[in-house]
Structure 1
Amino acid sequence: MMPNIALMMPVGGARMQAVLPYAALAQSRGGRTLWLGQVLSGDTHHPFIHAAAAGFPVPAGIGVSLMPLRHPYDAAVQAQSVAAATGHPVVAGYGPGSVSFQKRLLGAPYRSQLGAVREYVSILKGLLEGGEVAVTGEYFSFHGRLPKVTRPRVEVGLGVLRPGMARLAGEVADVAITWLAPAAYIRDVILPALREGAATRGRPVPRVVAMVPAALERAGRAAEEIVLAGNRAHLGLPHYRDMLRQAGMDTDVDADPVKAARALVDGGVFLYGDAAELKDRVAEYAAAGVDEVVVSAGGVVALEGPRAGLSEAQALLAALGCPAV
Structure 2
Amino acid sequence: MPTGGRQLLPFAEIVQAGSADRLWTGQSLLIEPHAALAYAAGAGVRIPIGTSVALMPLRHPFQAALQARSLAALSGHPVVAGLGTGPAPFVQSLRGSGYASPLGAVREYATIVRNLLAGTVVELPGEYYSMGGALPPMNTPPVELGLGVLRPRMAELAGELADVAITWLTPPNYLAEVIVPALGRGAERAGRPRPRVAAVVHVSVDDVDRDHVRVIQAASHAHLRAPHYQDMLHRAGVEVNLDDLAGTAARLIDSRTAAVGSVDDILRTVAAYRKAGVDEVVISTVGLQATGGTSTSLAALAAITEAASARPATAGHGSHR
Secondary structure at the aligned position of 2:301 is classed as: helix
TM-score by length of 1: 0.93
**2:30 paired residue number:** 41
What are the within-5 Å matches in structure 2 for residues 1-325 of structure 1?
A: 11-12=1-2, 14-30=3-19, 32-252=21-241, 254-321=242-309
CA positional deviation for 1:104: 1.3
Distance 1:148 1:23 in 2: 29
Distance 2:205 2:52 in 1: 24
**2:319 paired residue number:** none
Secondary structure at the aligned position of 2:309 is classed as: coil
CA positional deviation for 1:162: 0.2
Secondary structure at the aligned position of 1:205 is classed as: coil
Letter in structure 2 aligned against 1:314: A
**1:5 paired residue number:** none
What whole-Å deviation, never above 9, does each CA across 1:153-177 have from its counterpart, x for those lacking one?
A: 0000100000010000011111100
CA positional deviation for 1:29: 2.3
Secondary structure at the aligned position of 1:134 is classed as: strand
Distance 2:293 2:189 in 1: 47
Secondary structure at the aligned position of 1:45 is classed as: helix
The 1:30/1:321 distance shift into structure 2, 3 A limit, reads closer
Contact 2:263 2:303 in 1 (8 A): no
What whole-Å deviation, never above 9, does each CA across 1:221-255 have from its counterpart, x for those lacking one?
A: 11111011121001110000000000001222x22
CA positional deviation for 1:309: 1.5
Letter in structure 1 aligned against 2:219: G
Distance 2:78 2:84 in 1: 20
Secondary structure at the aligned position of 2:28 is classed as: coil
What whole-Å deviation, never above 9, does each CA across 1:70-119 have from its counterpart, x for those lacking one?
A: 10000011000000001100000101111111111112110100000000
Count of residues paired in the alignment? 311
Higher RCO (CA 8 Å, separation ≥ 6 residues): 1
Which has the higher mean CA deviation after the structures are superposed, 314-323 or 77-86? 314-323
Contact 2:52 2:83 in 1 (8 A): yes
Secondary structure at the aligned position of 1:142 is classed as: strand
Secondary structure at the aligned position of 2:194 is classed as: coil
CA positional deviation for 1:128: 0.3
What whole-Å deviation, never above 9, does each CA across 1:105-147 have from its counterpart, x for those lacking one?
A: 1121101000000000010001000001001000000100101
CA positional deviation for 1:307: 2.2
CA positional deviation for 1:30: 4.8
TM-score by length of 2: 0.94
The 1:30/1:316 distance shift into structure 2, 3 A limit, reads closer
Secondary structure at the aligned position of 2:283 is classed as: strand
Distance 2:269 2:174 in 1: 14
Distance 1:74 1:35 in 2: 20
Distance 2:264 2:33 in 1: 33
What whole-Å deviation, never above 9, does each CA across 1:252-286 have from its counterpart, x for those lacking one?
A: 2x221211010011111110011221111111111
CA positional deviation for 1:314: 1.3
4+ residue stretches of structure 1 with deviation over 3 A? none
